[in-house]
Amino acid sequence: MVMAMKNYMMVLSYDGSRYLGWQGQGNTENTIEHKVETVLQRLTGEQTKMQASGRTDAGVHALAQPVTFQLSRSLDCHLLLTELNRYLPEDIGVLSLSPAPERFHARLSARSKIYVYRIWNSPAPDVFGRKYRYQISDSLDLQAMEQAARQLEGEHDFRSFCGLKRFKKSTVREIYQISFSRTGDELALRFHGNGFLNRMVRILAGTLIEVGLGLRSPESMTEVLAAEDRSAAAGALPAHGLMLEEVFY
C-alpha cells in the first residue's frame, strides 16, 4: 500500500544579495533553495524537493515567496516553523507554514504576481538602502514613464523583454497594471501580471527608465513590442533593486 504524501506550503522572505538565485544548482550550494532544503531535511529526516512560485535570479529579493513541498507524515507546523527560523541563515526567514490541499502547487496554482523595482532617484548616496535600490542621479519624467507603461499593459508578446534569446515556449504574458509611487527620493515601479519571463521585469524597468531620461519616447513601446527582438528593448537593470512582493492564488 502506497502512503499518501502530505502537502505543505510555506512562505519565505529572503535577502538575495549573497545568493546565486532561488534554484538549486549542481555546481554550488549557494542558492536559497539548497539552504532551505538542507535545513528542512535535517529537521524532518526526509529528503524533499521544494517548488517555489517562481525562480528569482541571483541577487533578487523576496518579500513573500510561496513554496510547496511534500513529506510522508504530518508535522507540527508551528514547531517546524520555529525550528526552521532557528537554523536558517539570518537573511532567509519563514513567515508561515501550513498544510496545503493535495493538488496545490506554489507555481502551477499561482494566478498572478507583483514584482516591485525600487529606484533611488537622487544624486545623494543611498548609504543604507544601496543593497535594495538602484540609484539614478538624473531627474526622471514620471509622466512620460506612465504614458509608456499604459502601452505595455494588457496581453502582448513580450519576446523583446525576455532575457533568454532561445526561449522555445510562448512569450505571451498579460500585465494587469504598472504603477508608480514616489516616497521622498525613492521611486517604486510595481508590475502586476499573470507571469513574467526571464529578467522581464528588470528589462521593462530599464526601458521605462530610458523613457524617463528622454532616451526613448513613450510611443516607442508599441514598436519595441512589435519587434519581438531582445535588442529592441533596454538592458536589464541590476538585480538588487528587484523584489517579489506578492503572489495571488
> Any idea which residue has 516616497 for its cell?
183
Bridge partners (DSSP) of residue 90 are none
Catalytic residue among 57, 126, 141, 229: 57
d(CA 202, CA 212): 15
List C-alpha distances in Å: 104 to 69, 155, 196, 207.
Answer: 10, 26, 20, 36
* 94, 174 Cβ separation under 8 angstroms: no
**Length of the chain measured in residues:** 249
d(CA 176, CA 115): 12
Is 229 among the catalytic positions? no
Ramachandran quadrant class, 129 (left: phi over 0; alpha: psi -120 to 50; beta: rest): alpha
Amino acid identity, position 85: N
Give the per-residue SS3 of 8-39.
Answer: EEEEEEECCCCCCCCCCECCECCCHHHHHHHH
Positions marked catalytic: 57
